[in-house]
Structure 1
Amino acid sequence: MRRRRIPGGDQAAGKKPETGAAGGWVTVSSGALANLSTMLRWGAWLLLVLGVLLSTTAHLRLSAEAPRTAQPPAKATPASGEAVGPGGFAVLYVAAYLEAGRGTEAALARYFPNMRNITLEAKAGVQHAEQLAAVQVEHVSTGYWSVTVAGRVTATPSAEEERDEEQAKDKDEPDQAGALRYFQVPVRTAADADGYVATALPAEVGAPETGDGVELNYGSPVPGDDKDETAATVARFFSAYLAGAGELDRYLAPRTALRPVSPAPYTQADVAQLAELGGDYRRNLPASDGARRQLLVDLWAAAPDRQLRPLTYALTLTARDGRWEIAALNAAPSLATPKEK
């Protein structure tokens, strides 16, 4: 058989395809392919790690913020001490109790809820409370106190009572109107923890014990002396502070802010005696810059009616430029440290 010859077959069989741009193919070396593969692999790992970090950061931020937004706003707490609230409540309660009477029970129910079940027999408004104050607050248990309230109770007398009162005065009988009376009040925190309630009616009691005298941490006092520069400075300061005599600022240390009592309640202030903290008072002590003194000063202050009133102040003095200046009026005298037994 004769084979049929295909035109161009030899060329088609033996000719290699063209490479490069002319042939429509791009040739890449094996090294370049390896580098590209490595870059893609590291890029994928980088994206994975970055995603984990962003997710963790967002989770931690939400975890930290969630409790803060979920917490209810805190209630304001009084800065003046735990006993102030119950004491003030008890004073108001006793005032309402003393003036209450038949038909005014509702006025007490706001303080003592069980008052709704009690009927008063006395006439309302017959007596009035004056100068009421909480003189003792005893902590009974958590949220529960016993408050002793002192006050002067006066009555609104009828014509007959006024006549009897005049007769009693003629007989030199003691006047009971000026005597202090004491009432013990049980006070507890209200159920909603936003206020107080009384758990019973007030109980009239005897006066609480006055206690022993208080020992202060000052040495022996010495009389005021105009020849003592410190005493003279203190006297001039109080004359300006209490009597409006002269400028107050000239006696004050830098950055000490004090205003004179206005209107001036006294016409003159004299130093009766001085005592020094922790030791005996020393007259004419040199005013070395930066030195400090803590003094207890007793004054005689003359009122416009020429009556002398005793006053006591605790002072802090500092030295500057060879003179003593008033640095502070202390809130209270320093107490002596209890001695160990």
Structure 2
Amino acid sequence: MKWRKEEQTPPPMEESAVPDTGWATTSMSTGAMANWTAVVRWSAWGLLLAGPLLGGWALASARTPVTVPTRAEAPRAQPASSDAVAPAGFAELYVAAYVKAGDSDADTEELSAYYPAARSMSWSGEGGAERAESASAVQVRQVSAGYWSVTVAARITSSSKNADSGRVRYFQVPVRAAGGRGASGWTAAALPAEVASPTSSKGVAPELSYGSAHAPLDSDPAVQTVRGFLAAYLTGGGELDRYLSPGTTLHAVRPAPYTAVSVTQIAEHGQGPAEGAEAQVPPDGVQRRLLVDVEGDGKHTGSRPMSYAIELRARDGRWEVAALEAAPALAAPGTKSNSEEGQGS
């Protein structure tokens, strides 16, 4: 018997059936899918190309430019301003190094910190043969912008005993503001030059605007205030505030340098009160300016003369110290002091 093989045809596939590929395309046709893919692709390319343009526009429109440092930089010290720091201190240190300089490398290196050209100079003699025990600028003149001439007074002592040891000598120093990154902000333009004293040895004392000095009057209430004030100020005896006007702040000298202070003379500024008016009770607000000569006795010193310019102000029938003036009042140029007028009459 022959068996006949029957051909089995697969059942027809529905038109809406799509192979399961994992993409949800059941509701989108093949053409729509292609169109959507093209839109996504061109959008990505558009953003990629527009990125640099948008970044450049953002940087150009920023108000403050942004910089990204590649590495951290240490802060650099700025040179001192010529208007803020005087060159006098630099000149004082320079003179001290110059006076003791010798032929050693250490001395040359120290001096070159002030005057760079010193490295190429030869020095004879041993360093330290002379030293500046003290150096102080006594005159500062501005030659031009950023350039000064400083005269320094120095007391020079010598390792060998001679008559000149300990004598004050004067050195003129040219100082220039450093334009570069110098640590000090200053540099010397040349070596110091020894010069004569800038002041006359026979100076004339300036005229002061005070009358003739006289012995303190015990009947004057101002003298009582001055005595009590100076005792509290210089010896620590008594309370200082009780002698001060309201709003005046002064501090006693500590530690107290003297054990006793006595008033020797008083001179009145201007015309001063009329004779006999000192003993009267002053009206509130009246002021007096006095130049007071005193002598202070210390534990290790004898009588030391001193002068104080003191301003007094009346309040509640008594005198109070309104100010300890920085300097006595000078007479106006071309006018005679009250003391000269009294001598002429």
What TM-score, normalized to structure 2?
0.67
Q: Distance in 2 between matches of 1:88 and 1:294?
A: 36
Distance 2:301 2:139 in 1: 36
State whether structure 2 residue 185 is matched by structure 1 residue 195: yes
1:186 to 166, 174, 186: 174
1:220/1:280 contact within 8 Å kept: no
Structure 2: which 5+ runs fail to align? Answer: 1-62, 65-77, 336-345
C-alpha distance after superposition, 1:234-273 (max 9, x if no partner): 0111011001111111111112111110111011111111
Q: Which moved more, 1:211-220 or 1:179-188?
A: 211-220
Question: Residues 157-168 of structure 1: matches in 2 within 5 Å?
Answer: 157=160, 165=161
Instruction: Quote how far apart the aligned CAs of 1:305 are.
Output: 2.9
2:292 matches 1:297? yes
What is the Cα-based RMSD across aligned positions, in Å? 2.5
CA drift at 1:209: 2.3
> Is residue 239 of structure 1 aligned with residue 231 of structure 2?
yes
1:268 equivalent among 235, 255, 260: 260
2:159 to 152, 156, 160: 156
- The alignment's TM-score, normalised by the length of structure 1, stands at 0.68
Q: Which residue of 1 aligns with 2:198?
A: 208
Separation of aligned partners in 2, 1:76 and 1:146: 18
Does the aligned pair in 2 maintain the 1:275–1:281 contact within 8 Å?
no
Asked if the contact 1:221/1:280 (under 8 Å) is kept, the reply is no
Q: CA deviation at 1:76?
A: 8.0
Per-residue deviation, residues 43-87 of structure 1 (Å, max 9, x unmatched):
xxxxxxxxxxxxxxxxxxxxxx99xxxxxxx99868xx87x6211
Change (3 A) 1:225 1:131: farther
Question: Whole-Å Cα distance in 2 between the matches of residues 106 and 219 of structure 1?
Answer: 58
1:1-341 equivalence runs, <5 A: 85-102=86-103, 103=105, 104-157=107-160, 165=161, 175-192=163-180, 195-210=185-200, 211-280=203-272, 283-284=278-279, 286-339=281-334
Taking the aligned partners of 1:122 and 1:230, their CA distance within structure 2 comes to: 63
Give 1:107 shift. 0.6
User: Structure 2: how far apart are the matches of 1:312 and 1:245?
Assistant: 19
Q: Secondary structure at the match of 1:222?
A: coil
Q: Share of identical aligned residues, percent?
A: 48
Contact 1:133-1:151 at 8 Å conserved across structures: yes
| Deviation (angstroms), 1:285 | 5.4
Note the C-alpha offset of 1:152: 1.0
Amino acid at match of 2:156: V
d(CA) in 1 for partners of 2:80, 2:129: 39
Q: What's the offset of the Cα at 1:156?
A: 2.4
Contact map agreement 2:229 2:243 (CA 8 A) in 1: yes
Unaligned runs of 5+ in 1: 1-64, 67-73, 158-164, 169-174
C-alpha change, 1:325 and 1:121, in structure 2 (3 Å) is same
